[in-house]
């Protein structure tokens, strides 16, 4: 085990160590100590991740100019048959190393930021324990060697996000949001599990790379078997992969499983930055990327469905984001929209020379998005910390009182709007150009969405920092400590410059370096659309005026529908409460009460009581009646013996 492997192991182990320490002994430490323990562990992992990434991308991972996968650790954990076993381990390949970087950096920033943001909150040490648990699960997920290992950590991620969303457990809305997030993602994970079972049944393996090998090689008997059966025009393999994608869609909040993410904003804001912007919600994208060769080579039809779901979700969420007034909800819908961008970028990609650009573009956007979206959430947290409300109504004109927040927030908005030379520009260009090559329809949807993105982000920006005149004697001073400002600045640097990384030479579907095409003529359209969006936002929200209300009332039907999130929640409630409850819940309850409880449980108890009452008088306490039975028995036996042997 060389130093890189050891570091990779430590990256996964350190957070679970700090979780254990804080979880068991946290209440004996002062808040400051427990916060520092959490920060120290995560900052160390971030440094180790940088070390491993440098080693992987430039040294040991590079073989003949290609990035190959490297198994740092693997051991058998649970063995079913000779070929089928659940292994635990750590695999280093371009996407997992990239994810290690993103997760540890954002997580350590959030840990540091929380020192300031959560100061004085109750259960401070528990908060840090949960954050560490979450980081551990997420890191374990991305380095998984085995699809079942991924599933285990996938569920751990779900649990820790449940704990974090419901952190303010005295607020009923937070509890409801936590439950909703857990149930929706858990429901989606059912599909994931069935998909895993189908894949492992047909390939006789749970190992990621064995599955990929067996399902991509031409003439592989496993592949032939798997695709032989078909259902509704798609092969069994496509269905299995779509079921796996269902799990990913649940975590990544793809339509129609997106409903949990906006409500999850009930959690503390740094948690939203960590979980619902940079790490957990990209788990679905990561899952599709992990199985990308199978999708691209053997099931392009499933990949096409993913592309269309992604494109639709991107547009759908962007429209809703334009109408929301809670700043965190705007960011939540923006996240859904951006994750959907990554999803359809994967969907439009294919396998073969010149078609794999979408894969790299998707991972690139994942990388840059992590920086600017985490920054946006942390900035929104700083604003909320200062004005004590989530609603836009209480904001406006904050640019003087929150200068650092204002500046970094602006960088993030420019980055997400795709203005050059900020990070989002490069990744978004790559996505759009790969979409244009294969699916022009998706390209136009993506282009329009990108304009909407610029609009709603700058609506948010102007609404927070301009709109109202700067108050003369503001009491909203930037009282934030270094703990809150330093992460903003570091992430701001990332959001500004992360796009300049030649990402294609590090991460690609087959490990070979890939030059992301960059055409000046191509990028005119997206940038122009973005700038138009910003311009409209300035006209409408640069200063307080009547135009937005007029526009809203002019298209009031559509506006109301978008404001109410197109009534998706109501549809879900209707389906679950009215349809499922009446058709399934009530009969099941009746069956439970009368048959299971009435007939089986109470019935057997009553039978026992009746029998006992019937034979109880035999136990009379009279010696001579016992003897009578005894004598009767002896005589009977004697009679039997006599009959038998006479």
Partner 1 sequence: MEQVPLSHILILSSTLFFLGVYGFFSRRNLITMLMSVELILNSVNINFIAFNKYLFPHQLEGIFFTMFIIVVAAAEVSISIAIIINLYRRFKTIDIEDTTTMKY
Distance in Å, CB of 628 to partner 1, minimum? 7
In this structure, are residues 288 and 309 in contact, taking their beta carbons and an 8 Å threshold?
Answer: no
Q: Is the dihedral of CA 179, 182, 183, 185 positive or negative?
A: positive
Q: Is the dihedral of CA 224, 511, 147, 364 positive or negative?
A: negative
Long-range residue pairs from 516-525, CB within 8 A, at least 24 positions apart, any chain: 516/357, 516/360, 516/361, 516/364, 516/426, 516/430, 517/357, 517/430, 517/433, 518/426, 518/429, 519/433, 522/429, 522/432, 522/433, 522/436, 523/420, 523/425, 523/429, 525/447
Instruction: Classify each residue of 551-587 as buried b or exposed e, where b means 16 or more C-beta atoms within 10 Å of its C-beta.
Output: eeeeeeeeeeebeebeeeeeeeeeeeeeeeeeeeeee
Distance in Å, CB of 636 to partner 1, minimum? 15
627 binds partner 1 (CB under 8 A): yes
Q: Indicate the residue among 607 and 627 with the shorter CB distance to partner 1.
A: 627
Distance in Å, CB of 646 to partner 1, minimum? 18
| The binder of partner 1 chosen from 1, 224, 623, 646 (CB under 8 A) | 623
Distance in Å, CB of 619 to partner 1, minimum? 4
Residue 630 to residues 623, 627, 637, 642, Cα–Cα distance (Å): 11, 5, 11, 18
Q: Indicate the residue among 532 and 635 with the shorter CB distance to partner 1.
A: 635
x/- letters, 140..159, toward partner 1 (CB under 8 A): --------------------
Q: Indicate the residue among 470 and 641 with the shorter CB distance to partner 1.
A: 641
Distance in Å, CB of 607 to partner 1, minimum? 18
631 binds partner 1 (CB under 8 A): yes
Stretch that binds partner 1, among 139-147, 329-337, 588-596, 624-632 (CB under 8 A): 624-632
Contacts of 495 (CB under 8 A, 6+ apart): 368, 371, 372, 375, 408, 411, 412, 415, 422, 423, 424
Distance in Å, CB of 624 to partner 1, minimum? 6
Distance in Å, CB of 643 to partner 1, minimum? 20
Full DSSP string of 63-108: ETTEE--EEEEEEEEEESSSS-EEEEEEEE-HHHHHHHHHHHHHHH
616 binds partner 1 (CB under 8 A): yes
Q: Indicate the residue among 580 and 631 with the shorter CB distance to partner 1.
A: 631
Cβ atoms within 10 Å of 222's Cβ, excluding its own: 19
190 binds partner 1 (CB under 8 A): no
Cβ atoms within 10 Å of 84's Cβ, excluding its own: 16
Distance in Å, CB of 623 to partner 1, minimum? 6
Q: Indicate the residue among 519 and 616 with the shorter CB distance to partner 1.
A: 616
Name the CA dihedral angle for 499, 501, 502, 506, rounded to a multiple of 10 degrees: -120
620 binds partner 1 (CB under 8 A): yes
Stretch that binds partner 1, among 283-291, 389-397, 535-543, 623-631 (CB under 8 A): 623-631
Under DSSP, the state recorded for 469 is: P
Q: Indicate the residue among 120 and 621 with the shorter CB distance to partner 1.
A: 621
624 binds partner 1 (CB under 8 A): yes
619 binds partner 1 (CB under 8 A): yes
**CA 94/CA 537 separation, integer angstroms:** 38
Stretch that binds partner 1, among 40-48, 222-230, 431-439, 619-627 (CB under 8 A): 619-627
The count of residues interacting with partner 1 (CB under 8 A) is 11
Distance in Å, CB of 629 to partner 1, minimum? 12
Q: Indicate the residue among 599 and 608 with the shorter CB distance to partner 1.
A: 608
In this structure, are residues 315 and 361 in contact, taking their beta carbons and an 8 Å threshold?
Answer: no
Q: Indicate the residue among 590 and 630 with the shorter CB distance to partner 1.
A: 630
| The binder of partner 1 chosen from 547, 628, 637, 638 (CB under 8 A) | 628
Stretch that binds partner 1, among 193-201, 309-317, 520-528, 622-630 (CB under 8 A): 622-630
Distance in Å, CB of 640 to partner 1, minimum? 20
| The binder of partner 1 chosen from 65, 219, 557, 621 (CB under 8 A) | 621
**CA 359/CA 352 separation, integer angstroms:** 12
611 binds partner 1 (CB under 8 A): no
* Contacts with partner 1, residue ranges (CB under 8 A): 616-617, 619-624, 627-628, 631
């Amino acid at each position: 085990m060389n130093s890189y492997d050891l570091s990779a192991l430590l990256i996964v182990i350190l957070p679970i160590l700090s979780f254990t320490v804080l979880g068991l002994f946290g209440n004996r430490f002062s808040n400051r100590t427990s916060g520092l323990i959490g920060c120290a562990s995560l900052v160390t992992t971030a440094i180790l991740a940088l070390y491993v990434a440098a080693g992987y991308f430039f040294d040991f991972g590079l073989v003949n100019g290609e990035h190959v996968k490297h198994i740092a650790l693997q051991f058998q954990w649970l063995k079913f048959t000779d070929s089928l076993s659940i292994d635990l381990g750590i695999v280093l390949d371009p996407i997992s190393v990239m994810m290690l970087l993103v997760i540890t950096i954002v997580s350590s920033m959030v840990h540091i930021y929380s020192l300031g943001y959560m100061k004085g909150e109750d259960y401070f040490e528990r908060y840090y324990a949960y954050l560490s648990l979450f980081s551990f699960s997420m890191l374990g997920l991305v380095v998984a060697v085995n699809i079942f290992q991924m599933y285990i950590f996938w569920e751990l991620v779900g649990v820790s996000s449940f704990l974090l969303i419901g952190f303010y457990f005295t607020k009923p809305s937070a509890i409801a949001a936590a439950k909703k997030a857990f149930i929706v993602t858990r429901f989606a994970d059912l599909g994931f599990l069935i998909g895993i079972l189908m894949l492992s049944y047909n390939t006789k393996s749970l190992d990621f790379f064995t599955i990929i090998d067996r399902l991509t090689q031409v003439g592989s008997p496993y592949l032939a078997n798997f695709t032989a059966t078909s259902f509704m025009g798609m092969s069994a393999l496509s269905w299995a992969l779509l079921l796996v994608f269902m799990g990913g869609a649940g975590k990544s909040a793809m339509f129609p499983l997106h409903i949990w993410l906006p409500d999850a904003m009930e959690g503390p804001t740094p948690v939203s930055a960590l979980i619902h912007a940079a790490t957990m919600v990209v788990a679905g994208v990561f899952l599709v990327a992990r199985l990308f060769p199978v999708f691209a080579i053997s099931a392009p039809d499933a990949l096409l469905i993913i592309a269309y779901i992604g494109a639709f979700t991107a547009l759908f969420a962007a429209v809703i984001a334009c109408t929301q007034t809670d700043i965190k909800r705007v960011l939540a819908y923006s996240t859904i929209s951006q994750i959907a961008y990554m999803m359809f970028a994967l969907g439009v990609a294919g396998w073969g020379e010149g078609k794999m650009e979408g894969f790299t573009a998707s991972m690139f956007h994942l990388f840059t998005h992590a920086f600017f979206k985490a920054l946006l959430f942390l900035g929104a947290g700083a604003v909320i910390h200062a004005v004590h409300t989530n609603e836009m109504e209480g904001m406006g004109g904050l640019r003087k009182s929150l200068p650092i927040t204002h500046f970094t927030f602006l960088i993030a908005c420019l980055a997400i709007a795709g203005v050059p030379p900020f990070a989002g520009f490069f990744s978004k260009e790559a996505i759009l150009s790969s979409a244009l090559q294969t699916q022009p329809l998706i390209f136009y949807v993506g282009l329009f969405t990108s304009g909407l993105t610029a609009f709603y982000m700058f609506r948010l920006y102007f609404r927070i920092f301009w709109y109202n005149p700067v108050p003369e004697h503001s009491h909203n001073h930037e009282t934030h400590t270094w703990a809150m400002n330093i992460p903003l600045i570091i992430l701001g640097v990332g959001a500004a410059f992360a796009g300049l990384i030649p990402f294609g030479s590090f991460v690609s579907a087959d490990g070979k370096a890939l030059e992301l095409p960059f055409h000046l003529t191509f990028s005119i359209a997206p940038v122009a659309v973005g700038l138009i969006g910003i311009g409209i936002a300035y006209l409408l929200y640069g200063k307080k005026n009547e135009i937005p209300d007029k526009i809203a009332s002019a298209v009031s039907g559509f506006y109301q529908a978008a404001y109410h999130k197109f009534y998706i929640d109501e549809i879900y409630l209707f389906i679950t409460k009215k349809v499922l409850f009446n058709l399934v819940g009530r009969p099941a309850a009746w069956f439970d009460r009368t048959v299971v409880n009435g007939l089986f449980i109470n019935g057997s108890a009553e039978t026992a009581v009746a029998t006992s009452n019937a034979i109880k008088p035999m136990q009379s306490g009279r010696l001579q009646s016992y003897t009578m039975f005894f004598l009767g028995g002896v005589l009977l036996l004697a009679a039997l013996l006599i009959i038998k042997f006479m």
